[in-house]
Amino acid sequence: MDFRIFKPQGVLKDHVQGIWSLSVSSHRVVDEKKLLFSDAGSGIMFNLGGEVCFGNYSQPEGVMIMPNSKEAQYVTLPPGAVLAGIRFHPGMGYSVLGKRFDHPVSIADEPDRFYFLQSLQQQLGACRHHQARLVAMYRWLTYHLDTDDATHQTITRIVKAVQPYSWPQALPVGTRQIERHFQKWMGMTPKYYQRILRVKQSLELIQRSPDIPLADLAAEQGFADQAHMTREFSHIAKITPKQYSRLVKQKQGR
């Protein structure tokens, strides 16, 4: 599998996590299967060749709106698959698309709402390599995304303020309103969002240092104990800390 990602800076930084392009060799004999960890974000996926499966959903060629990620899921990619996509920061998918989606939705099911994505789909279909697809998506975002929109700025402030270890800051709304906003934007509570981030940060630490003592990791990341961390990993990441540590070491040839 050949995967490329570009993480925008500047005006797009607070809105878009990444712009990505992926292809699977047509010479592979079997499907490629990967575990995608949750990041609480949402996105737009352009399937440019081959039917792919995300969890229990089969995705034919076309454009899919991907919902906020609450738990890890497996993606199955057939030989010859070509995909590209835009990954929004948590809450930003609602702001850009005007609606929260709880499951993958094809733009063919709501053509009036997503007509503005059709031209980008056509451009990407004509691209023959990763760089061209990344450039096409970046240019589309800079043209269509209103980074000065007050709603974008409010979402950014509120979501950042509830992140673990964030600096205390004044919020534009009260606690109950924050709860309602999170349900509206992301379909989850602020507390559950914090749980996702804690697991995500722990996965990143294991990836960098797979030999880290798990009891120390649990204490450092704010879990009650190692058993609590294992339960959270099993629920949100669909893998235990020990299993992931072993997997990282295998990839490193250890």
**The CATH number of the domain where 16 resides is what?**
2.60.120.10
pLDDT in tens, 108-144: 888 888 888 989 999 999 999 999 999 999 999 998 8
Report the CATH number at residue 223: 1.10.10.60
Residues 14-30, mean pLDDT to the nearest whole number:
93
Spatial CA neighbour of 55 closest among 238, 187, 246: 238
Q: How confident is the model at residue 222 (pLDDT cuts 50, 70, 90)?
A: very high
Same domain, 195 and 116: no
Domain of residue 26: give its range: 2-144
Same domain, 228 and 125: no
Q: Is the pLDDT of residue 167 over 60?
A: no
User: Is position 106 within any domain?
Assistant: yes
Q: Radius of gyration of the chain from Cα atoms?
A: 19
Residue 197 and residue 212: Cα distance in Å, rounded? Answer: 19
Q: How confident is the model at residue 165 (pLDDT cuts 50, 70, 90)?
A: low
Q: Is the pLDDT of residue 172 over 70?
A: no
Same domain, 26 and 134: yes
Alpha-carbon separation of residue 59 from 19, 25, 64, 83, 223 (angstroms): 19, 19, 8, 11, 36
* Contact between 195 and 163 (Cβ < 8 Å): no
Residue matched to tokens 């409010």: 154
Q: How confident is the model at residue 78 (pLDDT cuts 50, 70, 90)?
A: very high
